Amino acid sequence: MNRKAFGKLIAALRKEHFDQEDNRLTQAMLAERAQKLDPLSPLNEIIIGKIERGERAILDDQTLLSLADTLELSMGERREFYLAATGLDDEQIHATKKTAEEILATVIQMLTDIQLPALLLDPYLDVIAINDILLNLYQTSQIDLYSRMDQPAGFNLLGFIFSADFEPQRQLLGQQQWRNFAVGNVIYFRRTTLRYRTTKYFTALIK
């Protein structure tokens, strides 16, 4: 992720936070929060502005840590955040000589062979592939899945587990187990989507 893209990500993460009057945080407000958390924080309104505009080429450890703390990123989100800050793109981070088609074929074969419930997700938690064991576990048929094809984000895992289609499974889980299951998936979603918060598709998903 280049510096301009990283800057847009910081702006998007900032705007996920609100003050007591339900206004999105401004750069000045974020700087004020950073100083309250750590009086030695290098962040101020000018620096935050430069970062968001992609004008700050060097981001030192203390600046990144202060941003992560002030933006209240979870452990999983921090991992993605620091990866984004390296300036590398996905192809550089996950270097491979195989084509996307070859990788997909290998993973689908793994889903077929594995004797456990399993599925393949993209960073938005859209389901790419799912094995029969998991379909049976959720008492879901391929016909049920096809009926969701015309729905917006119909194959999104979060959309599915919070939909009416998943109600029988929610009842089987029980209140506490369902809560743990739902919260775990939301936390995972926040981690995997962190580097994609500026995309139109992410915005559409959370509306």
pLDDT of residue 143: 52
Residue 86: both structure tokens together = 């390296």
Are 183 and 152 found together in one domain?
A: yes
200 within some domain: no
pLDDT of residue 158: 93
Last-in-domain residue among 72, 90, 108: 90
State the residue range of the domain holding 70.
3-90
Q: Share the mean pLDDT of the chain.
A: 91
Are 126 and 169 found together in one domain?
A: yes
pLDDT of residue 144: 66
User: pLDDT for 36-71, tens place per residue?
Assistant: 999 999 999 999 999 999 998 789 999 999 999 999
Last-in-domain residue among 90, 115, 149: 90
pLDDT of residue 62: 96
User: pLDDT for 70-103, tens place per residue?
Assistant: 999 999 999 999 999 998 777 777 777 888 899 9
Residue 170: both structure tokens together = 């929610």
pTM of the model: 0.84
SS3 state of residue 126: strand
Higher per-residue confidence, 4 vs 166: 4
Sign, Cα dihedral of 136, 139, 142, 143: positive
User: pLDDT for 166-183, tens place per residue?
Assistant: 888 898 888 999 999 999
Paired sense of beta strands 119-121 and 127-130, if any: antiparallel
User: pLDDT for 108-159, tens place per residue?
Assistant: 999 999 999 999 999 999 999 999 898 888 777 655 677 777 777 888 999 9
What CATH number did the domain enclosing 33 receive? 1.10.260.40
Which among 30, 14, 4, 25 has a CA at the least distance from the CA of 84? Answer: 4
pLDDT of residue 141: 65
- C-beta of residue 50 within 8 angstroms of C-beta of residue 24: no
206 within some domain: no
203 within some domain: no
Q: Which residues pair with 18 in a beta bridge?
A: 24
pLDDT of residue 92: 74
Look at the block and give the residue holding tokens 């879901």. Answer: 140
pLDDT of residue 194: 96
Task: Tell me the CA distances in angstroms from 127 to 47, 118, 131, 203, one per residue in order.
Answer: 39, 11, 11, 18
